[in-house]
Structure 1
Amino acid sequence: MPRTIDYYFAPQSPWTYLGHARFCALLARTGAEVRVLPVDLGGVFPVSGGLPLAKRAPQRQAYRLVELQRFSSWLGLPLHLQPRFFPVSGDAAARLIIAVDRHDGSAAALRLAGAVMSAVWAQQRDIADTAVLAELLAEQGLAAERLADADDAAVQAHYAAHTQQAIAAGVFGAPSYVLDGEIFWGQDRLDFLERRLQTPA
């Protein structure tokens, strides 16, 4: 029986971007199923001791840029260290991903999520702009009406529920992959996640 991974992420997270394609490949390789769970890190950080980027110590901010460059080079993924539209709110994109997940399924939601992340970090597009989100939907062959669906109260409720579910699960950053109650935080923990998938539940 396929195992299910809870995938908690913020669509504007560079670390989620760096791990997203590899995570999708892991799903295809292992046959694991996924729950696509965008969260509001603004709700997660205050209860987990995290700080928004601008409030972190200068040393941490500087080292973050070093690590982003290292992983970008190692993985061969294009990444602007300081993209034109960042910091950026990920709320609208997160709700859109949820709407696509609800109407088109997790595979489509994962595809859109990857496009959103690439838009921020590789293409320097503004994912808080409705016009950009409409373009991303079209580029992924998804229905334009998902923009309207994303404004549904049910979608907002799901977004809030995902965030609370993440907090309850002990998640404190993105991306976090949770399998059988065990958290794997960060795109550099995907190897551990795959090994865990190979052990009995």
Structure 2
Amino acid sequence: MSKTVDYYLAPQSPWTYLGHQRFVQIAKTAGATVRVLPMDLGKVFPISGGLPLGKRAPQRQAYRLVELTRFSQALNLPLNLHPKFFPVAGDPAAKLIIAVDMHHGADAALAITGAVLSAVWHEERDIADPATLAVLLSEHQLDAVCLMLSNAPEVQARYDSYTQSAMDAQVFGAPTYVIDGEMFWGQDRLDFVAEKLKG
């Protein structure tokens, strides 16, 4: 029986970007079902001890840049350490991912998630701008109606539900992968995710 992975993500997270394509491939190889669950880190952080980047201690901010560089080089994934559009509001892109999931299904939601993450961390595009999101839909042959759908109350309700679900599952950062109630935080835990899915 195939396993299900709850994939809690934030569309503006560099760590989600660094792990996304590897995770998609791991899940595909394992024949796993993925539930794509964008969450609002602005609500998750305050109850879990997390801080927005700008409020973290200088030494933590500095080390983050070291680690991002290391992983970018090790994974051969291009990453701008200081993207033009960051910090950026994640809500519009998160709700677009949910709308695509509702309209096209999980595979398309994973595809648009990858596009959004790359837009921030590689392509210097503004994912808070509806015009950018419309172009990303077009580039991936996804229905333009998804942008309008992303503003619907039912999408907001799902976003709120996913955020609450993350908090209930004790999630405190992105990306987080939950399999059979076991949590794996961070793209550097993907080897363990792969092992869990094999098991």
- Normalised TM-score (structure 1): 0.98
Structure 1: state its 5+ residue gaps: none
Runs of 4+ in structure 1 off by over 6 angstroms are none
Aligned to 2:12: 12
What pairs with 1:1-201 in structure 2 (closer than 5 Å)? 1-199=1-199
The 1-side partners of 2:190 and 2:177 are apart by 8
| Structure 2 letter corresponding to 1:148 | M
The 1-side partners of 2:146 and 2:99 are apart by 6
What's the secondary structure of 2:119's corresponding residue? helix
What's the secondary structure of 1:83's corresponding residue? coil
The 2-side partners of 1:170 and 1:150 are apart by 26
What's the secondary structure of 2:82's corresponding residue? coil
| Structure 2 letter corresponding to 1:98 | I
Number of matched pairs: 199
RMSD: 0.5
What's the secondary structure of 2:87's corresponding residue? coil
What's the secondary structure of 1:115's corresponding residue? helix
The 2-side partners of 1:33 and 1:145 are apart by 25
The 1-side partners of 2:31 and 2:23 are apart by 12
The 2-side partners of 1:116 and 1:198 are apart by 29
The 2-side partners of 1:174 and 1:14 are apart by 9
The 1-side partners of 2:74 and 2:136 are apart by 27
Q: Deviations over 1:25-48 (max 9, x none)?
A: 001111011100000000100000
What's the secondary structure of 2:8's corresponding residue? strand
Structure 2: state its 5+ residue gaps: none
Q: Deviations over 1:77-120 (max 9, x none)?
A: 01000000000001000000000001100000000000000000
The 1-side partners of 2:2 and 2:139 are apart by 31
| Structure 2 letter corresponding to 1:58 | P
The 1-side partners of 2:98 and 2:74 are apart by 31
| Structure 2 letter corresponding to 1:145 | V
The 1-side partners of 2:165 and 2:108 are apart by 22
The 2-side partners of 1:138 and 1:94 are apart by 17
Instruction: Tell me how far 1:198 sits from its aligned partner.
Output: 2.1
The 2-side partners of 1:184 and 1:146 are apart by 30
Instruction: Tell me how far 1:129 sits from its aligned partner.
Output: 0.4
Instruction: Tell me how far 1:196 sits from its aligned partner.
Output: 1.2
